[in-house]
Amino acid sequence: MTESDKQRPIRSFVLRHGRMTRGQQRGLDEGWPQFGLERDAGLLDAPAAFGREAPVVLEIGFGMGLSLVAMAAADPQTNFVGVEVHRPGVGKLMHTMLEEGVDNIRVYCDDAVQVLQDCIAPESLDRVQIFFPDPWHKKRHHKRRLIQPDFVELLCSRLRPGGLLHLATDWENYAEHILEVLSASEQLVNCSAESGYVPRPEQRPLTKFEQRGQRLGHGVWDILFQRS
């Protein structure tokens, strides 16, 4: 292992350069000037980006963005910021926003860790949501899981006091890992009365992926903590 390999951060994602569909490319071309955010611009000025003062929710890793658009459409009084590294997903999100007339989402196409460090001010977020992050299910890959103590402390620093951290996964082993890491943080309190999992909150849409999993008998674990 070279010295540069030792210094290179462990990433929780593999950047795939998939082909963009016409709709995804059109969504990116037409939507980015209005909805796109650049990490190089520095700290996010949410009132300026959205044209209003409102609670801010950050979603990390929104995939193709269908559930994020549904949440934003159902809660137009909230400002949503999405972070996703995969351009086809960003294009699909923006295509759906334009089709459905949803305009209360702004998007970074970038690494979430760097966005949090460079662009999100301390105590500026009302909620952070991370739904179905890559479980990296093989034991030798567990170090690549997004939810690690250092990352959780970074999230806590960006949440306002009383802000919520909501995660969901369909891998029981990862759910146990997330629960252990979050429970160890002195800044977080579990919203479950039994200090375990919570029922799916109404604001999180039931995805087609979940519906299929339910038919096959697969479980989904929602984890909700509050910054103390």
The string of pLDDT tens digits covering residues 190-222 is 999 898 999 999 999 987 778 877 787 789 999
Going by C-alpha positions, the residue among 173, 171, 179, 180 that lies closest to residue 218 is 171
Q: Work out the pLDDT band at 16, boundaries 50, 70, 90.
A: low
Distance of CA 188 to the CA centre of its chain: 18
Determine, yes or no, domain membership for 9. no
Q: Say if 6 falls within a structural domain.
A: no
Look at residue 3 and tell me if it is in a domain.
no
Q: Identify which has the larger pLDDT, 93 or 208.
A: 93
Question: What's the CATH number where 69 sits?
Answer: 3.40.50.150
Global pTM reads 0.89
As given in the structure block, the two tokens for residue 121 are 């001010």
Split into its structural domains, the chain has a count of: 1
Q: Answer yes or no: is 7 within a domain.
A: no
Q: Is 103 a catalytic residue?
A: no
The torsion angles phi and psi of 34, rounded to 5 degrees, stand at -95, -40
Query: What is the Rg, in whole angstroms, of the alpha carbon atoms belonging to the chain?
Result: 17
Q: What percent of the chain has pLDDT over 90?
A: 78
C-alpha 184/C-alpha 167 separation (Å) is: 16
Task: Kindly state whether residue 140 falls inside one of the protein's structural domains.
Answer: yes
CA atoms within 13 A on the CB side of 107: 33
Is 139 within the bounds of a domain?
Answer: yes
Range of the domain at 171: 24-227
Give me the catalytic one of 5, 134, 150, 222.
Answer: 134
